[in-house]
Chains A and B, each alone.
Chain A
Amino acid sequence: MGRRSTAGALALVLPAVVVALLLAVPAPAHFDGSDRYTHGRCPGTASNRIDPLNVLFRTWGTYGRALSQTETHVGWGDEAGNSQYFVDHATCTLMHGQRASGAAWSSRFHLRVRGQHEDPVLGWTATGDAHHEDLVLICGHAVDANGPEGSGFDQGRNELRARMAAAGHGISTGNWWGNTQNFKQCDGDLAGSNGYTTYITLHQVNH
């Protein structure tokens, strides 16, 4: 009697569970470019923005490949620097890693990377904040101020793009993100992106 009741109940419940599981399948993942800056803490707000995003790694653009292939093909291998946060689908999370062209006590190119959602078109994705920063005696690192050659953000993106292109990576320029807000640096100067983001295709095999 008890067994029959249990079996009957299962027969009733199981189809409902299966339907519920099917309905619970998450919506297809996609790249979310709605937040276009790094942040100093979570939650990410307009008040704690630090750097504009200006690089998107795609295809095999996992954060591990982004860091590895930046190190190998661009020559940026130093890992020192402070941590920043990225927002993806309204979730604020710590970056995955960073690479720089020199040690923390030098002027250098610098890139922070965070892996983002996989996308049906872009494939695996990661975003970054490439920049050139000067070592300023009074305060530490400051992204190069806006100048005739663009800001340190533009210079960093352009350097990364050129070196990745020279190594055979697919490059897409002219991607307008419009994230041109200026950021005061520790020396008081201002630096901002010109609003364009470079898309870099990464390959599957690391080095």
Chain B
Amino acid sequence: MGSVSTGLLLAVAVGLGSNAAGTGEGTTHRPVRGNSSVEEVRLQTGRDVYYVGESFAGLSLTAVERRTDEAGYVSLLYGDCQADDHSGCALPLEIQTWPSCARNLALYDGADPFAPTPERVLVRGVPAGILDEGRQVELQTGNSTIVIFGESRALVARAAASLRGVDNPARPGDPLRPPVAGAVEGELDCP
């Protein structure tokens, strides 16, 4: 198996040298960049989107990403990390809001016995599933499914307790709106 650092090869090829290459892996640190913004999310209609504010637990809101394919979610990401040639990296905290027609807890109840099985609980008064020993939590509220990924169980739990609306009046700690009928069961069709 090879261990070629393409970035290093490229740096040499274009004459950048190790100093210009920056991080010692032949790559230059570039901050994370999303394809959307909080302002753009606020203007969208039809689905409530959630986040934990402009900063949380010492982490700044650094990117807003919208999936324009069938996944159709909006994601707000906090903090940053060092990605290199061939190696992406996970930001410390990410909060995705999906349409519940595309993502819901019933997806884990399918015929596939090899899919992960979330622990079913109530969080903020709504149905939720815990995965990855608490480093992934999914909550269903209204016609949205909120998915929180974090580097630790404690961070995810704090984020779940602090969720608030980007484009709706939900406040930290308050009970979330119950899911619409059929949302948790996966009975809704996406438009």
Contact = CB atoms under 8 A, between A and B. Distances in A.
Interface of A: 31, 33-36, 40, 45-51, 56, 79-84, 95, 97-98, 104-105, 119, 121-122, 133, 135, 137-143, 145-150, 154, 174-178, 180-191, 194-195
B140 interface: no
B83 interface: yes
B148 to A, nearest CB: 10
Contacts of B4: 80-82, 104
B88 A36 contact: no
B89 A50 contact: yes
Contact of B6 (A135, A174, A190): A135
Contacts of B114: 31, 33, 56, 119, 122, 175
Which secondary structure dominates where chain B touches chain A? loop
Given A51-B88, A195-B103, A180 B65 contact: no
Contacts of B96: 180
Given A79-B2, A181-B90, A182-B77, A140 B26 contact: yes
B121 to A, nearest CB: 16
In the complex, which of the residues A33, A47, A178 has the most CB atoms of chain B within 10 Å of its own CB atom?
A178
Interface in B59-117: 63, 65, 67-71, 73, 75, 77, 80-81, 83-92, 94, 96, 103, 107-108, 110, 112-116
